[in-house]
Structure 1
């Protein structure tokens, strides 16, 4: 399974218990949650887009929130987490000469993955602050499993004098805040199809490196 695969389609195809109507419900819910947000989307609207009766939704899912969790939670546990961990660990195991080379690899890799699965990630980004049921699996399956190895990468470049000697957790938080902010702004907030993305990536990297540059004595 390559990075370019759509995780949403993959999950549905892997689950043989999903009926055709259920597939249409899930597809409609993903589209509408991504377009309008969870709170502004009604089950009646989802039913109309899916071409089913509203009662059909409640035969499969007790509430609208149950539908949301059934979309995002399995993807997090079964697809997103293993995908993220596998690819990020591969990058972290590569001996890049400079921290900026490591950053470039991370950005390019995650950007393509995000772009391919934009609707699922829009839902995740929009709703994770309001639903602990989404945040807790993300922390458990992704953050904890990636942060330990990331800390070793940070320590490596600190020992080489390339980045400031702060606690690795602080360096990771700053680095990922800038990278995630760049990806979200590009694909969610501004949705810019034009522009020099290579130049924007380089500018993002330089902002990170400027912030992490060690003080000269």
Structure 2
């Protein structure tokens, strides 16, 4: 069975508009993805990446001028090629479905995205760590993810507001507050909930998070 990062690299290579990556490039990108996820971009070195990839450090610079170019080569294509058509396609099915209530929609979103997060956390850690520090990545994330999610969720929010079950605030505010709470739940679940000996009760925490959101957004 293939590791998630190997599936991701295959997908990235297959969807690339340019000539498919060479074996050495794939090794470099795989090694860089692992090290960036483990240590963060700033603490990683091209020498360390080269050693893990089993190539000379000069080989990296033949393909990528700087370490930043290597980071962008990992994140940008993933953002453009995977987040939009590959990652988001399953999410769109959830967002396009009809729900009787906002909390029912939140449960469907959490169930859908938690499965994805657990499978691709290795690569997504790079997003979480690096997007706040790189404006070009922020711009792509906003364009390819946030705007599309906003467009999909807004009609549902408007419907629930018309039914009198959600506060009459702007959809942007409702989405921002909801995402903040959900990200907090996912982050603690990822860091603490999976730890051996943890007293984390996932179902209880998930329901408490949804209840907190619903009470805060009550009309």
Given the two structures, how large is their TM-score scaled by the length of structure 2?
A: 0.88
- Report whether the alignment pairs 1:190 with 2:165: no
| 1:30 and 1:120 in contact (8 A); partners too | yes
Shift of 1:160: 1.4
Shift of 1:44: 0.5
User: Of 195, 206, 216, which residue of structure 1 is paired with 2:211?
Assistant: 206
User: Of 39, 51, 72, which residue of structure 2 is paired with 1:69?
Assistant: 72
- Report whether the alignment pairs 1:156 with 2:167: no
Shift of 1:12: 3.0
Distance 1:163 1:192 in 2: 33
Secondary structure of 1:117 counterpart: helix
| 1:89 and 1:149 in contact (8 A); partners too | yes
Residues 145, 178 of structure 1: alpha-carbon distance in 2 compared, 3 angstrom cutoff = same
Residues 180, 89 of structure 1: alpha-carbon distance in 2 compared, 3 angstrom cutoff = same
- Report whether the alignment pairs 1:168 with 2:194: no
| 1:151 and 1:168 in contact (8 A); partners too | yes
Distance 1:130 1:145 in 2: 22
Structure 1 residues 155-200: Cα deviation after superposition (integer angstroms, max 9, x where no partner): 111111212111111111101111122222322x336256432222
Distance 2:120 2:211 in 1: 27
What 5-or-longer segments of structure 2 have no aligned partner?
Answer: none
The count of aligned residue pairs is 210
Q: Report what 1:143 is aligned to.
A: 146
Structure 1 residues 64-109: Cα deviation after superposition (integer angstroms, max 9, x where no partner): 0000000010011011122344333322222211111100000111
User: Of 109, 127, 132, which residue of structure 2 is paired with 1:124?
Assistant: 127
Distance 1:83 1:204 in 2: 28
| 2:9 and 2:26 in contact (8 A); partners too | no
Given the two structures, how large is their TM-score scaled by the length of structure 1?
A: 0.89
Shift of 1:11: 1.1
| 2:31 and 2:49 in contact (8 A); partners too | yes
- Larger relative contact order (CA 8 Å, sep ≥ 6): 1
| 2:46 and 2:60 in contact (8 A); partners too | yes
Cα root mean square deviation, aligned: 1.9
Shift of 1:60: 0.7
| 1:186 and 1:192 in contact (8 A); partners too | yes
What 5-or-longer segments of structure 1 have no aligned partner?
Answer: none
| 2:15 and 2:81 in contact (8 A); partners too | no
Secondary structure of 1:153 counterpart: helix
Shift of 1:119: 1.6
